[in-house]
Amino acid sequence: MKVDILTLFPNMFSSPFQESILGKAIEKGLIQIRTINIRDYALDKHQVVDDTPYGGGQGMVMKVEPIARAIEWVKSQAPSAWTIHLTPQGNPFNQKMAQNLSNRPHLILLCGRYEGIDERVRELFVDEEVSIGDYVLTGGELAAMVLIDAISRLLPGVLGSDRSAEEDSFFQSLLEYPQYTRPSSFRGVEVPEVLLSGNHSAIERWRRKEALRRTSKRRPDLLANAQLSSEDKKLLEEMLPKKSDG
Ligand code: 4HQ
């Protein structure tokens, strides 16, 4: 997958993509990420990219021409690239969107600053607007990184092959079950005995139950959309609320 990031702050993207899983994926050529400095596409001598809003008001608005030229430059190489603008006005980002976007060969991520971009950019060039949540960032850059991270791990070969897609889908739209590693006892808090038992079907059952417990307690909205088996419903009924799940 190719990703072109349009931003006024390309340096923000240097270290996050060099580390760990994403760094490896880039090394392997599974993802190709480029940053494009919108300022390089300004036409005037001082490379102005913002201006005061028509109608008055606070702050500055990103000008249409530099962004238009930058997008058109990418599109001249990749006409089918899908252009996403990161904004709190967009569709809330979720795993389903990450899955859909992971099937696209080429994304353009447009990161705004200041009070945002001239509306005509959206009208003329943006295919989709995406929000990473109901809070206000100083710019779209961190939101773009969130999208890239969530999408990249879904690309074939990015995660280890030991990771089971089947298991992922079994637990889809549920919160994760609790994880433990050594030591088995820490400051008097014990790892649940079943996890040390070697009884794989009992372990599987326990994990499913804990995932269901957490989800019903913390995110009942997710449970409403989950596909629950009759076994799941039984597990939900037999469970008493646990204090530690608070
Ligand atoms: N911003 N999800 C301001 C966001 C945001 C979000 C993006 C703030 C762009 C100009 N982006 N600008 N939340 O808060 O995506």
Of 53, 65, 115, 149, the active-site residue reads 115
Share of the chain above pLDDT 70, in %: 93
Q: What is the pLDDT of residues 105-152, one digit of tens each?
A: 999 999 999 999 999 999 999 999 999 999 999 999 999 999 999 999
Cα distance from N-terminal residue to C-terminal residue, the chain: 41
137, 141, 148: residue to mutate for ligand 1 pocket, most atoms within 8 A of CB: 137
Residue 242 has pLDDT above 80, yes or no: no
CB 25 within 8 A of CB 150: no
For the chain, the average pLDDT equals 94
* Rounded-to-integer distance, Cα 51 and Cα 9, Å: 18
Helix, strand, coil shares of the chain, percent, nearest 5, are: 40, 20, 40
Q: What is the pLDDT of residues 185-236, one digit of tens each?
A: 999 999 999 999 999 999 999 999 999 999 999 999 999 889 899 999 999 9
> Can you say whether residue 132 is alpha, beta or left, with left for phi > 0 and alpha for psi between -120 and 50 degrees?
alpha
Copy the structure tokens of residue 113: 């600053």
> Can you say whether residue 151 is alpha, beta or left, with left for phi > 0 and alpha for psi between -120 and 50 degrees?
alpha
Query: Is the bond preceding 105 in cis, omega lying within 30 degrees of 0?
Result: no
Q: How many CA atoms lie within 13 A of 194 on its CB side?
A: 13
Of 16, 53, 69, 88, the active-site residue reads 88
* Ligand 1 proximal residues by C-beta, below 6 Å: 86-88, 112-113, 116, 131-133, 135-137, 139-140, 143
